[in-house]
Chain A
Amino acid sequence: MTTPDTTEIEAREKAEVLTEDTRPGLVFKPDVDILEHPDAYVILADLPGANEESVDIHLEKGVLTLDAQVSETTRAERPRYAEYREGGYHREFRISEDIDAAGVSASMRDGVLELRLPKSAESRPRRIEVAAA
């Protein structure tokens, strides 16, 4: 399926995640697409500034947690004008029981995370490593 892409994109503000957090810095809720294939669910998340090392994905008790730390770019230059803010990302997804936790895979390309959640009957806590695309 190819989506039509002749429309002009509208810039939107990154939604800030307001949580009780002792860590400094801003956290944003990334835009995502969630697709269902016959054999797997696919989650695509926009994480500009994040790379495969800074992303952390955790699946436990049917909740998939996506975290990404983006260290603020330290610049010698003087900031003059800002339309976006830098910060980390956080979002949780309630995952149905039929996911094969052992088969979950993740990759990143151009600041977009692609998570593939194969369907199965298993449901156990697991940490998933992110591979470079």
Chain B
Amino acid sequence: MSTFQRHATRRPWPFPSLAREFQREMNHALRGGEPAYHGPRGVYPPVNLHERDDGYVLTAEVPGVRPEDIDVSIEGATVTLSGQRKVEYAAGDGVSVHRRERQSGTFRRAFELPAEIDLDRARATHKNGVLTLALPKSEAVQPRQIEVETR
């Protein structure tokens, strides 16, 4: 279980244009467009989004990021992932690095989903270097079945 912070108060957050782009792509998909592989957008971590009737599932590949180093916050329809990826080597003399491809550093990314999220039922799990957010839509925006009355 990853750390899950709830922000009741509104915090100003300068959204990168990515958030809007993400939403535009998603709105396209929601209108019936084919979901496609877009590739990473330069902003870490890369994410995939799935939709169910009652919510969204957002997954992010974060190998080597400790669960305690990831912060997930949700506010309305906005999900923010932030944290740190530490690449630490055992200290000691005579250690030389032959190859270094794995990146370290900080990350922060915000997404605006098409619907508000039910904070109380949102869940974050972290397994095998993959973060999974189960994000149920808030009741108010969920489709509801309406009984047809016969007279």
* B42 with A11: CB separation less than 8 A: yes
> What are the residues of chain B within 8 A of A75 when measuring CB–CB?
50, 57
A78, B50: Cβ atoms closer than 8 Å: yes
For residue A5, CB closer than 8 A to chain B, the reply is: yes
Pick from A2, A38, A108: contact of B88, CB below 8 A: A2
Whether B99 contacts A82 by the Cβ 8 Å rule is no
Nearest to A54 among chain B residues (CB) is: B128
B42 to chain A, nearest CB (A): 6
Partner of A33, one of B51, B59, B97: B97
Interface membership of chain A positions 67-109, coded 1 if the CB is closer than 8 angstroms to chain B and 0 otherwise: 0000001011111111111000000000000000000000010
Q: Are B42 and A10 in contact (CB under 8 A)?
A: yes
In the bound complex, how far is the Cα of B90 from the Cα of A11, in angstroms?
25
Give, as a whole number of angstroms, the nearest-CB distance from B28 to chain A.
Answer: 9
- B126 within 8 Å of A (CB atoms): yes
Q: Give the chain A neighbours of B87 by CB distance below 8 A.
A: 3, 5, 33, 44
Q: Does A50 contact B (CB under 8 A)?
A: yes
Indicate if the CB atoms of B37 and A110 lie closer than 8 Å: no
Please, which residues of chain B bring their CB within 8 A of the CB of A33? Answer: 87, 89, 97, 99-102
The residue from B85, B92, B93 contacting A9, defined by CB atoms under 8 A apart: B85
Q: In the bound complex, do residue A82 and residue B63 qualify as a contact, i.e. CB atoms below 8 Å apart?
A: no
Q: Is the CB of A10 within 8 A of B44?
A: yes
In the assembled complex, the CB of A107 is this many whole angstroms from the nearest CB of chain B, namely: 13
Point out residues on A near B: beta carbons under 8 Å.
Answer: 1-13, 31-38, 42, 44, 46-51, 73, 75-85, 108, 110-112
Q: Is B107 close to A, CB under 8 A?
A: yes
Would you call A9 and B61 a contact (CB within 8 A)? no
| A30 to B: closest C-beta gap in Å | 9
Which of A34, A73, A80 is within 8 Å of B29, CB to CB? A80
Across the interface, do B88 and A3 meet the contact criterion of CB distance under 8 Å? yes
B43 at the interface (CB under 8 A from A): yes
Give B108-131 interface residues, CB cut-off 8 Å to A: 108, 126, 128-130
Residues from chain A with Cβ under 8 Å of B79 in the complex: none
B98–A13 CB distance below 8 A = no
Q: What 1/0 flags go to B46-75 for Cβ under 8 Å of A?
A: 111111100011010111111100000000
A residues near B106, Cβ cutoff 8 Å? 5-9
Contacts known (A78-B51, A81-B22, A112-B63); A9 close to B107, Cβ less than 8 A? yes
Contacts of B29 in A (CB 8 A): 80-81
